[in-house]
Copies of this chain bind each other. A is one copy, B any other.
Amino acid sequence: MDAVKLSEQLVKRKEIQEGRKKLVLLVLDGVGDIRHPDNDYQTPLEAANCPNLDALASRSALGRIIPVDYGITPGSGPAHLGLFGYDPREVEIGRGVLEVVGMGMDLRPGDVAARANFCTVKNGVVVDRRAGRPETEVSAEKVKLLQGGIQRIEDVELVIGPSTGHRFGVIFRGPGLAEGVSDTDPHENGEPIHEAKAETPAAQKTADVVNEFVRRAQDVLQGGDPINAVMTRGIAAPPDVPSIPQRYGLRCGAIATYPMYRGLARLVGMELLETGQSAAEEFQTYLDNRDGYDYFFIHIKATDEAGEDGSHERKVAAIEAVDEKLPMIVESKPEVLVVTGDHSTPCSMKLHSWHPVPLLLHSPRCGADGLPHFSEGDCNCGSLGIFLAKDLLPLMLANAGLLDKYGA
């Protein structure tokens, strides 16, 4: 039994139902970084001028979170699962699920999702797995054609949505579906499209439906050049885990601009709030919806984009932009405010990384570490230590006074 499971047992559901306490998780995507000679041995958080974060830091508890485990670099899915109180070493999000969720498609419990490609087949073999890399607009037209031609297969409804280039997503919705189905994508040119095979008896119906979809798609696309067939891969069901509202009784609102993060939030039971592109607009959305929810996930994308591009300067600017508007949240006095990231994206690496992420937790019960900056170095010395992201949600609940005592 870990902190997460204990917290589910100890949570004060009645008090949560009263709705007086607001918990805010402000995620600066990829905010963590490392000191590097190219940037004068200063991380973006160290280089940024952040009077509001710094003022908050000295009255807060600091620490660092490890997204998944030591040395493990997470994708966005596992990284956010950890922040949301799931153990990403145990709960997996399949590729198909992440694809359709990232496209903003409405994936529901019981559904099965697939990534799909348009391709070119000649004489029974795939000659181009990407069908000449069509423009997204061309591909989107073909998706409409497919959806018009194939709405159901037996009692299974199909929802087909466009992605970029040759890619699209398919949701299969109906009774008796399960993951555990092999790819129809042969993964190299010169081979026929594979038959989807069920890896377990429970997945047989799904395999049959997928195979029928691939066959019918060839009929619908017949004569197309270069797009005349489809293949599927990464077939997966959404993770079979209770949502945050089910686990804790928290009404959760998600404020994020990118479909991927909105989709991840919806997978764990958050409601999606409409918002704008800037930090100020996202924070205003929080203020406007404060009464309707107990827990807010606010996602800022710009920090990660700058890190992936290797731009220390833009990452500093993205952090300063958040800092400037931070009083909008602080002055609303949420019971708990957490500022952190889902993972590090060091500018010198231009990639996600395993490095622990700076964490600031402010509440009436957090104490005051008295450390002057919200930075990697100060967070190393904070009272929260360096710990796994999955344990953040129990800490937030404790700091809100929403966990009962364990034992007598």
Q: How far is the CB of A403 from chain B (nearest CB, A)?
A: 6
Q: In chain A between 312 and 369, which residues have their CB closer than 8 angstroms to a CB of chain B?
A: 346, 348-349, 351-356, 365-369
0/1 per residue, A75-86, Cβ < 8 Å to B?
Answer: 111100000000
21 A-B contact pairs sorted by A residue (CB < 8 Å): A2-B69, A2-B89, A3-B70, A6-B68, A34-B368, A35-B367, A35-B369, A70-B398, A71-B391, A71-B399, A71-B403, A73-B404, A73-B406, A74-B406, A77-B408, A92-B407, A355-B383, A369-B380, A380-B382, A380-B385, A385-B386
Q: Collect the chain B residues with CB atoms within 8 Å of residue A34's CB.
A: 365-368
Choose one: B3, B33, B354; the contact of A69 (CB below 8 Å): B3
Is residue A93 within 8 Å, beta carbon to beta carbon, of the partner chain? yes
Q: Which residue of B lies closest to A62 (CB)?
A: B380
> In the complex, which residue of chain B has the Cβ closest to the Cβ of A7?
B71
B403 touches A72 (CB 8 A): yes
A73 touching B408, Cβ below 8 Å: no
User: Contact between A7 and B72 (Cβ–Cβ < 8 Å)?
Assistant: yes
Of residues A93, A376, A383, which shows the largest number of chain B Cβ atoms within 10 Å of its Cβ? A383
List of B residues within 8 angstroms of A35 by Cβ: 367-370
What distance in Å separates the Cβ of A19 from its nearest Cβ neighbour in chain B?
A: 21
Indicate if A203 sits at the interface (CB-CB under 8 A).
no
Our pick among B78, B383, B407 for the contact of A356 (Cβ within 8 Å) is: B383
Q: A90 in the interface, Cβ–Cβ < 8 Å?
A: yes
In chain B, what residue has the closest Cβ to A343? B405
Say whether A253 faces chain B, with CB atoms less than 8 Å apart: no
Could you list which residues of chain A lie within 8 angstroms of chain B, going by C-beta atoms?
A: 1-3, 6-7, 10, 33-36, 41, 43, 64, 68-78, 88-90, 92-93, 95, 98, 346, 348-349, 351-356, 365-370, 376-377, 380-387, 391-392, 394-399, 403-408
A89 to B394, CA, bound (A): 15
Determine the distance from Cα of A130 to Cα of B406 in the docked complex, in whole angstroms.
25
Residue ID in chain B nearest A404 by CB atoms: B73
Taking CB as reference atom, which chain B residue is nearest A41?
A: B368
Contact of A394 among B70, B78, B407 (CB under 8 A): B70
> In the complex, which residues of chain B have a beta carbon less than 8 angstroms from the beta carbon of A383?
64, 355-356, 376, 380, 386
User: Inside 8 A of A394's CB, which chain B residues have their CB?
Assistant: 69-72
With A36-B368, A41-B368, A367-B34 already in contact, the answer to whether A407 and B93 are too (CB < 8 A) is yes
Find A377's partner among B43, B70, B76, B370 (CB 8 Å cutoff): B370
Nearest chain-B residue to A383 (Cβ)?
B380
B70, B391, B407: the one contacting A75 at CB < 8 Å is: B407
**Who on chain B is nearest to A58 by CB?**
B41
Task: Write out the residue numbers on chain B whose beta carbons fall within 8 Å of the beta carbon of A353.
Answer: 365, 398
